[in-house]
Structure 1
Amino acid sequence: MTDIYAFNVKTIDGSDATLAPYRGKVMLIVNVASRCGFTPQYEGLEALYEKYKSRGLVVLGFPCNQFGSQEPGTEQEIMTFCRSNFGVTFPMFGKIDVNGENAHPLYGHLKKARPGVLGSEAIKWNFTKFLVDRSGNVVERFAPSTEPKALESAIEKLLHAQ
């Protein structure tokens, strides 16, 4: 499957969905966790979403518990945490694996399209970020340590390209 919009996903409330509603938007797809050293990045991700959503950016959060068990809660607990601590309003999805035999197919696609350092496809940690253009092409991968604000120029470039 190469059409990123056709992947089946679960929303944080358990509903079946695809990424089709985001066709034509610039997507920033991030594997997130509530008990990670990078968890404060939720604030920066929300700031990006608020600043650019009217121009076509959507941030998509995919909770993952594969790194140090830093996302142990239920989907409801995760959403409550994100809203109450960071004011998250961007779309959140059900908890997934991003590596291994149970990795979500969306992440298989993202990793193959934009491998990491030295060609490694594995996600190294929480808050790895993938930037997808309006046509559904995975154009860039950012390390967990890359602060959301540092993505602004790349986002601006994609928002201007119509």
Structure 2
Amino acid sequence: MSADLYGIPLRTLAGEPVSLADYRGRALLVVNVASKCGLTPQYAGLERLQERFGARGLSVLGFPCNQFAGQEPGTAEEISTFCSTTYGVSFPLFEKTEVNGPDRHPLYAELTRAQDAEGESGDVQWNFEKFLVNGQGEVVGRFRPRVEPESEEVVRAVEAVLPG
């Protein structure tokens, strides 16, 4: 990876400045999420991954995105309420993020360089595309939107990069 993912400035859903440096040494599953998508039930699987592997060093990080058919129209408060009450989401959520196009967030400019299982890189295809980052800040996996969070493919990849 050419850029230091840990140095890219981010904001939490509440608007607080943060960076991935807070997660240095942990495996990260970075996901662009949406509340009104056919894939929205993946929130449940993402939360179960967080519960299953969080103590072993995994952090699921959700980045709401409204770029795909306007499926994340809510305010930060609406997104937070929906995620906690509907899916019991405990993992961190960040401010709405552009993942493609001219206003693509610098984090996603780096993430989208990673290839998926078919060797394809480039634009995020839809909501719930997943990027696996190891504890050294390297993107080591990319899973397209229809790959379920608890699929054998994702779980194996997560287990392979858990610290210690």
TM-score (norm. length: structure 2): 0.94
Give the Cα separation in 2 of the matches to 1:80 and 1:109: 30
Give the Cα separation in 2 of the matches to 1:146 and 1:63: 18
Number of paired residues?
A: 161
Give the Cα separation in 2 of the matches to 1:115 and 1:48: 20
Residues 69-108 of structure 1 mapped to structure 2, 5 A cutoff: 69-108=70-109
Where does structure 2 lack aligned partners over 5 or more consecutive residues? none
* 1:152 counterpart residue number: 155
Give the Cα separation in 2 of the matches to 1:121 and 1:55: 31
* 2:27 counterpart residue number: 26
Cα gap change, 1:115 to 1:47, in 2 (>3 Å): closer
SS in 2 for 1:59: strand
Contact 1:114 1:138 (8 Å CA) reproduced: no
Give the Cα separation in 2 of the matches to 1:22 and 1:6: 11
Give the Cα separation in 2 of the matches to 1:86 and 1:147: 15
* 2:6 counterpart residue number: 5
149-158 or 139-148, which moves further after superposition? 149-158
Give the Cα separation in 2 of the matches to 1:149 and 1:134: 20
Contact 1:116 1:122 (8 Å CA) reproduced: no
109-118 or 138-147, which moves further after superposition? 109-118
**TM superposition shift of 1:158:** 1.0
Q: 1:154 is aligned with what amino acid?
A: A
* Percent identical: 51
SS in 1 for 2:104: coil
Give the Cα separation in 1 of the matches to 2:123 and 2:117: 7
SS in 2 for 1:60: strand
SS in 1 for 2:113: helix
* 2:144 counterpart residue number: 143
Structure 1 or 2: more helix by fraction: 1
Cα gap change, 1:146 to 1:134, in 2 (>3 Å): same
Give the Cα separation in 1 of the matches to 2:36 and 2:20: 26
Cα gap change, 1:46 to 1:134, in 2 (>3 Å): same
**TM superposition shift of 1:114:** 3.1
Contact 1:115 1:121 (8 Å CA) reproduced: no
SS in 2 for 1:149: coil
Q: 2:74 is aligned with what amino acid?
A: G
